[in-house]
Structure 1
Amino acid sequence: MRRIPATLAVAALLAATTACSTLSPPGEATAAKARLTDLRPVRDGGTVTIGLKSDPDMLDPSLTSTLVARTVFTSMCEQLYDVDQHNHFVPQLAASLPKITNGGRTFTFTVRKDARFSDGARLDAAAVKTSLDRHLHLRGSGRASEIDSVDKVAAIGPYTVQLSLKHPDVPLLGRLANTAGLIMSPKALRQYGSKFATHPSCVGPFKYVKRVVGDRIELAKDPLYYDADKVHLDRVIYKTITDGNIRMANIRSGDVQIGDQMGPVEVRNSMGEKGIQLLNTPSLGYMGVTLNVGNVHGIDQKPGTVDTPFGRDVRVRQAFELSLDRELINKLVFQGMYEPACGPVPPGIPLSSPVSCPGRDVAKAKKLLKQAGAKTPVPLELMINTTPEDSRLGQVIQAMAADAGFDVRLRPTEFATGLTRTLAGDFQARTGGWGGQPDPAGNIDSLVGTAGSNNQGKLSDPEIDRLIVAGRSTSDVAKRRAVYRDLTAAINKQHAVIYLYRPINYVSASDDVSGIKLSGDGLIRVKEAGYVEGSR
């Protein structure tokens, strides 16, 4: 039987699942309707429900590893620093930007004097030290490698914190403007210990009320919050709705007011629809395929060798990448609304360099498999999330890879279960990605460094590790740009993380809600959101 080329097979396959016209790229049809924020006056009171793409993992800043958990934390757990809508770092729980001395090895900052945790404990330097020490030393902490340059955390005054570093670490500020900068109540940590996630207490506009795992997380306005007079809503509910079409249907019905991480199909179908507003921003992150090359005994153990064709021979991994067409994936799965990607550094930032993505080359892929002595078809189990978008992506990858001699078997897995399996090393390959940070070190170090706490496939390469250290060690923009250009090349040479596309962060919302802010990190902030004056 004659094999149908992947381009035709996939196009036919997706015709039934998308059933809508081509979506215009960002900057064309969406530009006039897209906003980073909406500043119409709002009234006090009411509850806003936010539909999440997946169920967050643990509500523990030290242990979490999901973007959706970070979205929840924006409402209940503030960081030392934050990212504004122009990707600039600004103080949040810190009172000022840090003072860096001693050749970059001492990092000193003050913290706010007017902040209380939701359980009544005061924020001070000692509280910050407690959280940072926990991030560094708690077993299984996802933050440990992110701030592993820190040798000692000291409270040198009631509201002054000093970090002594093992070596200069220029990207440290960016990490403290991310999950590693989230500060927890020392009172709650003492009381609940390892069960903090079920009783989280932080400084934030809203405080934790309850959680029904797999369904919703409920928060209420915190009267102890230092900026409480700017908080208008009484409650915020985060509801897990994995299907984007259902999230959009819930917005239309009024059961949900804000839809997080909306996909191109849902956005296209709602464009121009009365009563629905669209906010978007370019992503600092990426999406793609992670191959398990060394995660034999779990992510917190040393890398080994995975006994599969993909784990044993880089040529098999390279052949798999060459079987994929990024441009066609973007067109067929995302209707041209995203951008093809082939590296971890987002374009448009001072440290980025142009990167040429390899084109699809089935003939070369087959040649590499022959050179590697791989028996075809080469089997690969690809774990995908149970969302329509990931299903379409998996089917496209499956069809394209088949042309080059791969037998890709899709394994749809519920998000939390998939994460557990990934951390344990119980996977061959998985789709997924990273939410992104303004400093490229935040997209690289913990994800592909040998000791990286988010290195799911346990890639280990001395050249990558060397360049990671080099990227941390200088503040010279030109030198760092060169380092991250070389680092991108070194990562791509291993073909263990196959960067496929860079999404646009789309948020759909009911038009009677205002004050939503969408920053460069793609996280929804509802601190000052509320219902428009005169609405329901």
Structure 2
Amino acid sequence: MRRTTIGTVAAALTFLISGCVSLQSSATEVGGVRMTDERPVRDGGTLTVALNADPDKLDPSLAQTLVGRTVFAGMCEKLYDIDEHGTIVPQLATALPTVSADGRTVTVPVRRDAKFSDGTRLDADAVVTSLLRHRDLPASARATELAPLRTVEATGPYTVRLTLKQPYVPLVGVLADRSGMVMSPAALKKYGKDFTNHPSCVGPFRFTERVGGDRIVLEKDPDYYNAGQVHLDGVIYKPIPDGNVRLANLRSGDIQVGDQMAPVDVRSALTEPKLQVFNSPSLGYQSIGLNVGNVRGLGAKPGKIDTPIARDVRVREAFELSIDRELINKVVFQDMYEPACGPISPGSAIAPGVRATRCPKRDVARARKLLRDAGVKTPVRMELKVSTTPESSRFGQVVQAMAKEAGFAITLRPTEYATLLEETDAGKYDAFASGWSGRLDPDGNIASFLQTQGAMNAYGLSDPAIDRLVADGRAEADPARRAQIYDELTRRVSAEHALIYVYRQKNYAVATTSVAGVRIYGDGLVRITTAGYTR
């Protein structure tokens, strides 16, 4: 790990948490489409939000999906959050952390006026319990994010001290996501592994019911510390994978908000006076993951897989060269997204210092030569798992047709999204199309996925050089040097061709004009704390 001076480390951590690092767009208007709607609302009523998939486990330590994060936004607050400018702000903490000179000790003050949905009080001990569970629970998707955490202790009823193994610049950004969600210790003790069916956090709404594949129901929590700003009586989240059906339900009024709307549906909604469109720039990416060593599941030591794409990087490069990112954006996404070929979004905390990654152009001739050089039998057969949405199906069909010209025979396997995650986590796949909603600090887009045995490394990728660069990027304080590290890291990841970045979404949501107070920020979440029906 590259050495840094003590003063520089502390300055870098302070810079990150001070709010100076933010999304590059600070306006509430993006491309003429609103991120927020501040019209007055009345009290009462239930809001129905349509999701494009059924969320996975409602357990902050284990959950992996964006739709799950949207549900958590209604019921599980975090130590920190981001605002519409992408600035990190306190939520369950009362202030931004203080950091020791060597960057290894971080102190977080905790709210004194908050209760969990089960009526028990939030305090420092509860924060300690949750942070240790996020770090240590078997199969925790937060383990990689909190791996640098050596100890965490309550130094007072409402003060938490985190001691780190080494300086960890992304920490506060990590605590602004699921790793910063605090769960009721009483509920954790009572329900154990079944906490996912009885989640209890601090939030504007509390969990009441889940019917798998149909709905998740929350009701207003009267004990919420800021209950005065909560206008709705409740919110229902309904998984509706088909965007056309979501749009039809918006038109009929059966739902009031449609999340992650497809470009074709957004264009239609823009012409309708009773519908309004929100969007924000994305911090994440959409990709195709290839199984190069996941034989025992997440967290296990990578092994050998006897498939052409796993055996030879030239086959994986050939597959990537068969793809035309710009054409995919035009044909599948109405030219409303952006081609992408790396994990770092233009809205990332360090994006201004990172050189733009040049996406490889489609080159069928070179792809065919690589397959010949690799000595593989053509067509190379592989199965590509895609989710069951029409948009994912179209994406898969275009990739299938493009790859065929280069010497691949792809079988598409439409799979319900939560099941897709379970199967790919277990290593039961050749390739799968998925994505990541993104984090402000680039480490949140990289470490858990690309580090050896990372918490969400479903690809079985293991490269000591990548591991070293991840560690260096986490500890490096100087922004210019950190940008250089992520330049090198992006190139190294690209050379492995195990995670092929294809496009970067914009976060689109559609709501009826009868609803206001909805907020859509760069993390892609639909926030409904202040939402309500117009007066």
TM over 0.5: yes
Superposition deviation, residue 349 in structure 1: 3.6
Aligned to 1:254: 253
CA distance in 2, matches of 1:510, 1:282: 21
Aligned to 2:406: 404
| Residue pairs, 1:516-527, within 5 angstroms | 516-527=518-529
Aligned counterpart, 1:288: 287
SS in 1 for 2:502: strand
Which digits, 9 at most, give the CA deviation of each residue in 1:10-32, with x for residues without a partner?
xxxxxxxxxxxxxxxx9xxx966
- Cα distance between partner residues in 1 of 2:32 and 2:390: 25
Partner of 1:430: 432
Q: Give the residue type in structure 2 aligned to 1:356.
A: R
CA RMSD of aligned residues (A): 1.2
TM-score after normalising by structure 2: 0.93
Structure 1 position 214, deviation (Å): 0.6
Among 447, 457, 460, the alignment partner of 1:445 is 447
User: Which residue number corresponds to residue 115 of structure 2?
Assistant: 116
Quote the residue 1:333 is aligned against: 332
Q: Is the 8 A contact 1:384 1:411 kept in 2?
A: yes
SS of equivalent to 1:430: strand
CA distance in structure 2 between the aligned counterparts of 1:198 and 1:186, rounded to whole angstroms: 15
Residue in 2 aligned with 1:343? 342
Matches of 1:52 and 1:33, distance apart in 2: 24
Q: What percentage of aligned pairs have identical amino acids?
A: 58
Query: Residue 32 and residue 330 in structure 1: after superposition, are their counterparts in 2 closer, same or farther (change >3 A)?
Result: closer
CA deviation map 1:136-160 (0-9, x unaligned)? 1111111111110001111111111
- The structural deviation recorded for 1:102 is 4.7
User: 1:340–1:260: structure 2 CA closer, same or farther, 3 Å change rule?
Assistant: same
The equivalent residue for 1:477 is: 479
- Aligned residues of 2:349 and 2:440 also touching (Cα < 8 A): no
Hey, what does 1:324 align to over in structure 2? 323
Query: What does residue 170 of structure 1 align with?
Result: 169
CA contact (8 A) 1:146 1:452 kept: no
Give 1:456's aligned amino acid. Answer: A
Asked whether the equivalents of residues 208 and 218 of structure 1 are also in contact (C-alpha less than 8 Å), the reply is yes
What is the CA distance between 1:272 and its match in structure 2? 2.2
Distance 1:197 1:127 in 2: 18
What SS does structure 2 have at the residue aligned with 1:103?
Answer: coil
Q: Give the whole-Å Cα distance in 2 for the aligned partners of 1:485 and 1:87.
A: 22
* Residue-by-residue CA offset, 1:298-353 (whole Å, 9 max, x unaligned): 11211112211111110000000000000000000001000000000001445222
Task: Tell me if 1:362 matches 2:361.
Answer: no
- How many residues align structurally? 505
Matched, 1:125 2:124: yes
C-alpha separation between the residues in 2 aligned to 1:351 and 1:210? 41
**Residue 77 of structure 1: aligned partner:** 76
AA aligned opposite 1:480: R
Distance 1:306 1:337 in 2: 37
Indicate conservation of the 8 Å contact 1:350/1:481, yes or no: no
Report the Cα distance in structure 2 between the residues aligned to 1:430 and 1:267, rounded to whole angstroms. Answer: 26
Q: What's the counterpart of residue 217 of structure 1?
A: 216
Question: d(CA) in 2 for partners of 1:97 and 1:451?
Answer: 31
Number of the residue aligned with 2:531: 529
Structure 1 partner of 2:160: 161
After TM superposition, give the deviation of residue 179 of structure 1 in Å: 1.0
- On the 8 A contact 2:243/2:262 being kept in 1, the answer is yes
Aligned residue identity for 2:237: Y
* CA–CA separation in structure 2 for the residues paired with 1:505 and 1:206: 23
Structure 1 unaligned runs (5+)?
1-25
The CA distance in 2 between the partners of 1:463 and 1:298, in whole Å, is 22
- Using the alignment, how far apart are the partners of 1:213 and 1:360 within structure 2? 41
Deviations 1:56-89 (A, max 9, x none): 0000001111111000000000011101111111
Amino acid of the residue matched to residue 473 of structure 1? Answer: A
> How far apart, in 2, do the equivalents of 1:532 and 1:234 lie?
14
Cα distance in 2 between the residues matched to 1:487 and 1:224: 46
CA contact (8 A) 1:350 1:477 kept: no
Structure 1 stretches of 4+ with a deviation exceeding 4 A read: 30-33
Q: SS in structure 2 opposite 1:320?
A: helix
Aligned to 2:502: 500
Q: Aligned partners of 2:189, 2:348: CA distance in 1, in Å?
A: 41
Give the aligned partner of residue 63 of structure 1.
62
CA contact (8 A) 2:466 2:493 kept: yes
Answering whether residue 273 of structure 2 is matched by residue 271 of structure 1, we say no
Match of 2:190 in 1: 191
> Closer, same or farther in 2 for the Cα pair 1:400/1:303, shift >3 Å?
same
Distance 2:149 2:345 in 1: 26
- For normalisation by structure 1, the TM-score amounts to 0.93
Q: Write the deviation string for residues 420-468 of structure 1: whole angstroms up to 9, x where unpaired.
A: 1111110110000101001000000101111310111121111111110
Is the CA contact 1:398–1:408 (under 8 Å) kept in the aligned structure 2? yes
Asked if 2 retains the 8 angstrom alpha-carbon contact of 1:386 and 1:415, the reply is yes
| 1:32/1:465 CA distance change after superposition, 3 Å | closer
Distance 1:228 1:348 in 2: 32
* Structure 2 counterpart SS, 1:444: helix
Structure 1 Cα separation of the partners of residues 30 and 462 of structure 2: 42
Residue type at the aligned position of 2:505: P
CA 1:356–1:108 in structure 2 vs 1: closer, same or farther (change >3 Å)?
Answer: same
2: CA distance, partners of 1:452 / 1:505: 26
User: Is 2:294–2:458's contact at 8 Å kept on the other side of the alignment?
Assistant: yes
8 Å Cα contact 2:282-2:347 kept in structure 1:
no
Q: State how far apart, in whole Å, the 2-side matches of 1:377 and 1:318 are.
A: 15
Secondary structure, counterpart of 1:114 in structure 2:
coil
CA distance in 2 between partners of 1:303 and 1:115 (Å): 43
CA distance in 2, matches of 1:349, 1:32: 19
Looking at structure 2, the residues matched to 183 and 67 of structure 1 have their Cα atoms a distance apart, in angstroms, of 18
Shift of 1:232: 0.1
- 2:8 aligned residue: none
- Runs of 5+ unmatched residues, structure 2: 1-24
Decide which moves more: 294-303 or 197-206. 294-303
Partner in structure 1 of residue 376 of structure 2: 374
Structure 2 residue aligned with 1:417: 419
Return the letter of the residue paired with 1:363: A
Partners of 1:309 and 1:176 lie apart in 2 by 40
**What's the CA shift for 1:475?**
2.1
Residue 465 (str. 1) matches residue 467 (str. 2) = yes
Q: Distance in 2 between matches of 1:390 and 1:120?
A: 42
Structure-2 residue corresponding to 1:6: none
SS at structure 2 position matched to 1:208: strand
Q: Secondary structure at the match of 1:207?
A: strand
Amino acid at match of 1:440: P
